[in-house]
Structure 1
């Protein structure tokens, strides 16, 4: 089986944190829309990091096939220094006993043994340089409702090191500050290009690992500042035509009550109990183009209320 042209729609939520901060805005939430719009955003880089970190943990040492090494990662050498792109590529080649082949054709070694190279593509700036556009392109994730980030402060007391051996450290309260988002629901679109998959050698197994990594990677990569994240819905549509796609699947879903309800009431949703996901327009569109669709699969978290019957597409969770 070969990878088909396809689209992805991924919906997730976050509580009490910000999964992707904006360093140009004092590490507040990223806002691509005007302030009066109220929505916040997550970059595709942030979500790819979740996928890569999951594969690193789930497929140690490249997995049993040694095909799932991660090229873009923060790996250090014996001296504690971060490996460069060239150093990472050489390290992967060494792990699979292909140092000689890598000197002649590093591209083929990385495509065979690196999951993120086959999936997301690569810009290899080490001579001989090469560039491959990945078959999987993820878009920005935008919140489905207005979101207010909150600026908070706290105090932590930690003993400082003593000046002399045996001297007790001093204790002093240190004030910390941070922005958090109490609750937000995000929708992220993505495309899978069948022609690019042929060029990178992305397989159906890679595709299935990607979908699993989107879901479980969101749950796996938890940190205090990133908040409590939860995957809510994942849609994967495969097309018969390698040049066709519906496009903008994220515009075919909506939260109920709608955006105006949160504006007029002067409040925001605070949990999944406050919302229902309406995907009726998405299902109508899928039915409209059913002759061009090979398969549609939908994964749903049991805590999410969904308005519409998705039973024909429903998949068991991993």
Structure 2
């Protein structure tokens, strides 16, 4: 079945880590706003990586129907060498038994068998070259409050190499490490789904549902020490019956209590989800205002999140 035009917002929290570091700032948190604003940000690349890694684990070898391979990933050959775009595409075509078709129409093969190609699009730079704009587009995720990152240091007890000579004292010592971490941050990320573009990439209802499940469970699934503890808290999906309409900027209709100005003026920062609540009343008012253009509204919310606004009629069971 074809999907409807839609948009969504995704809220998650991070404790004791930085989910998206800025290599231009010594791997500190990304800051798109002025320093006095205090908010930090996450790129769409980080969010898409969560989704892709989840699908790779949840749908091994493309899943039962071989439709959910992931094209954009790190994969090595039998010699341990990273595969390029052409080799990755050829390996998928071979696994689904479409080697011959791929030689003349790789675009069709990847659309039919790669979840991330249908949802996020693709730039295929191997001849014959082609590209597809993805029907799903994420915005940057920004913290809902000012955040102070902390510079921390520690040591690794294990020496860097074996001791070869009695006088080689330097090798006996562990390694000192340094890193930035964020004690706590609450992020909101917007996204849109374009129904007309979905027709071109053949994104289906099943793809859409897998996307939302991957957003939620993928946030918890992908592990790395620097990511800290991450928790999905709220996902809102608004579907429209008009393929050319959307409310837009749903993230601006959601607010944090206490608000960012309260944290900025006090100099304090939230340290836990218990310190805040999410107000969605303005968003619900907009949904009511445009209800004639809306086909469906769904909200997934973690039980630990305090929500201001009557969302019971839209609440969905968690995965």
Q: Please tell me the TM-score bracket, short chain as reference.
A: over 0.9
CA 1:173 to 1:161, structure 2 compared with 1: closer, same or farther past 3 Å?
A: closer
How far apart, in 1, do the equivalents of 2:266 and 2:174 lie?
Answer: 39
Q: Deviations over 1:147-189 (max 9, x none)?
A: 0000111111103443569xx9953132110000000000000
> Residue 87 of structure 2 aligns with which residue?
87
DSSP 3-state at the match of 2:263: helix
> Residue 219 of structure 1 aligns with which residue?
220
DSSP 3-state at the match of 2:224: coil
4+ residue runs over 3 A deviation: none
Residues 1:2 and 2:5 aligned together: no
> Residue 73 of structure 1 aligns with which residue?
73
- Structure 2: gaps (5+ residues): none
Q: Is the 8 A contact 2:3 2:198 kept in 1?
A: yes
> Residue 187 of structure 1 aligns with which residue?
188
Moved more, 151-160 or 52-61: 151-160
The equivalences for 1:207-246 within 5 A come to 207-246=208-247
> Residue 197 of structure 2 aligns with which residue?
196
Q: Is the 8 A contact 2:234 2:302 kept in 1?
A: yes
Residues 1:293 and 2:294 aligned together: yes
How far apart, in 2, do the equivalents of 1:162 and 1:187 lie?
Answer: 47
DSSP 3-state at the match of 2:78: coil
Residues 1:44 and 2:66 aligned together: no
DSSP 3-state at the match of 2:174: strand
How far apart, in 1, do the equivalents of 2:46 and 2:267 lie?
Answer: 30
How far apart, in 2, do the equivalents of 1:264 and 1:98 lie?
Answer: 61
> Residue 317 of structure 1 aligns with which residue?
318
Q: Is the 8 A contact 2:141 2:187 kept in 1?
A: yes
> Residue 257 of structure 1 aligns with which residue?
258
> Residue 130 of structure 1 aligns with which residue?
130
How far apart, in 2, do the equivalents of 1:171 and 1:230 lie?
Answer: 39
How far apart, in 2, do the equivalents of 1:293 and 1:160 lie?
Answer: 60
TM-score normalized by the length of structure 1: 0.97
Q: Is the 8 A contact 2:140 2:189 kept in 1?
A: yes
How far apart, in 1, do the equivalents of 2:149 and 2:292 lie?
Answer: 44
How far apart, in 2, do the equivalents of 1:175 and 1:74 lie?
Answer: 29
Q: Is the 8 A contact 2:13 2:230 kept in 1?
A: yes
> Residue 268 of structure 2 aligns with which residue?
267
DSSP 3-state at the match of 1:298: strand
> Residue 152 of structure 1 aligns with which residue?
152
Q: Is the 8 A contact 2:253 2:280 kept in 1?
A: yes
TM-score normalized by the length of structure 2: 0.97
How far apart, in 2, do the equivalents of 1:257 and 1:163 lie?
Answer: 56
Deviation at 1:269, TM superposition (A): 0.3
DSSP 3-state at the match of 1:158: coil
Q: Is the 8 A contact 2:159 2:175 kept in 1?
A: no
How far apart, in 1, do the equivalents of 2:135 and 2:57 lie?
Answer: 23
